[in-house]
């Protein structure tokens, strides 16, 4: 990802001493002589109550996502989440036209700078994920994710061409993972091993992969691997979806949640990324449903 310099005085996070589960985000930090540090080109103004306020040069952005996506059906396409900018005084504003514009956005008085479980903070060069203790207790642990992966692999998904058992790994292999490494056909979602059946070059130089199960043509196949960072998972549900194009496997709630978050990319653009590897997600199809040929040997 394109990055830029991050100031050591980028922001402050203040915890309520009486209610330690309440944390608040403020733009800019204190320097060595206990003064708020803002660059010369930073936007500053006086509020109606006579207090001074301002924005950092490149802005401190905040996004409060709703992590509950269970009420949505599989076919629902919810809208993208919206970023806001937080001021030195903790007020919330709409984004400026460009990241370093001198004109501030519009005040959004109904929104708050109080951090919630899953709040994202962008410092123009790094994006932080805020997790609360209560949120982490409700999230799947690394052990629960490993158990979910073990259940999936215990089904012994088969490759219909190589006629062997596939195993989804915890880490992606740079060498392709051998004959047991699973791949998914992007168009249909069927999971198979690596083989040359149905693979041919088109007249325009692009590649085409015909699925041997449904005969659908895909422009590419994606190598699958498990996303093992537990704090990025919303649940330990069925691992039957993968991000496109990186192939990290997760539940429907997880892939749908992250595909709705347009992370800042550079200084003026926003784009959803895979949380496990920060690969930019495909615009038209950010994730694909996985169809395994598994449990074929169950009684």
137-196 pLDDT, tens per residue?
Answer: 888 999 999 999 999 999 999 999 999 999 999 887 766 668 899 999 999 999 999 998
Q: Degrees (nearest 5) of the Cα angle 94, 2, 14? A: 50
Q: What is the pLDDT of residue 34?
A: 80
pLDDT band per the 50, 70, 90 thresholds, residue 37: confident
Q: Which residue has the higher pLDDT, 294 or 82?
A: 82
pTM attached to this predicted model = 0.86
Asked if the model's pLDDT at residue 6 lies above 80, the reply is no
Cα torsion 102, 106, 112, 117: sign: negative
Q: What is the average per-residue pLDDT within 72-77?
A: 58
**DSSP per-residue string spanning 197-225:** TTEEE-TTS-EEEE-TTT--EES-EEE-E
pLDDT band per the 50, 70, 90 thresholds, residue 240: very high
**Largest separation between any pair of C-alpha atoms in the chain:** 76
Asked if the model's pLDDT at residue 1 lies above 50, the reply is no
Mapping DSSP to helix (H, G, I), strand (E, B) and coil, where does residue 287 land? strand
User: pLDDT tens digit string along 103-135?
Assistant: 999 999 999 999 999 999 999 888 999 999 888
């Amino acid at each position: 990802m394109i990055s830029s310099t991050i100031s050591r005085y980028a922001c402050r996070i203040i915890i309520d001493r009486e209610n330690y589960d309440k944390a608040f985000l403020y733009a800019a930090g204190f320097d060595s002589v206990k003064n708020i540090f803002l660059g010369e080109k930073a936007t500053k103004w006086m509020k109606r109550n006579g207090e001074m306020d301002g924005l950092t040069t490149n802005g401190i952005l905040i996004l409060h996502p709703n992590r509950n996506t269970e009420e949505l059906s599989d076919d629902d396409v919810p809208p993208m989440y919206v970023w806001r900018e937080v001021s030195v005084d903790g007020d919330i504003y709409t984004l400026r036209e460009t990241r370093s514009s001198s004109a501030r956005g519009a005040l959004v008085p109904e929104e708050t700078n109080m951090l919630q479980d899953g709040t994202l903070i962008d410092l123009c060069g790094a994006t932080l994920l805020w997790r609360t203790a209560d949120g982490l207790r409700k999230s799947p642990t690394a052990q629960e994710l490993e158990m979910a992966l073990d259940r999936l692999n215990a089904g012994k998904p088969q490759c219909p061409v190589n006629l062997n058992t596939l195993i989804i790994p915890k880490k992606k292999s740079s060498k392709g993972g051998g004959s047991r490494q699973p791949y998914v056909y992007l168009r249909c979602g069927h999971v198979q091993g690596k083989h040359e059946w149905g693979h041919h070059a088109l007249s325009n130089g692009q590649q085409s992969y015909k699925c041997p199960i449904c005969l659908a043509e895909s422009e590419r196949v994606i190598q699958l691997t498990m996303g093992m960072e537990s704090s990025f998972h919303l649940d330990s549900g069925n691992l039957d979806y993968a991000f496109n194009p990186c192939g990290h496997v997760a539940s429907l709630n997880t892939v749908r949640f992250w595909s709705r978050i347009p992370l800042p990319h550079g200084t003026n653009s926003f784009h959803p990324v895979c949380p496990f590897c920060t690969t930019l997600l495909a615009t038209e199809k950010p994730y694909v449903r996985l169809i395994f040929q598994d449990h074929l040997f169950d009684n």
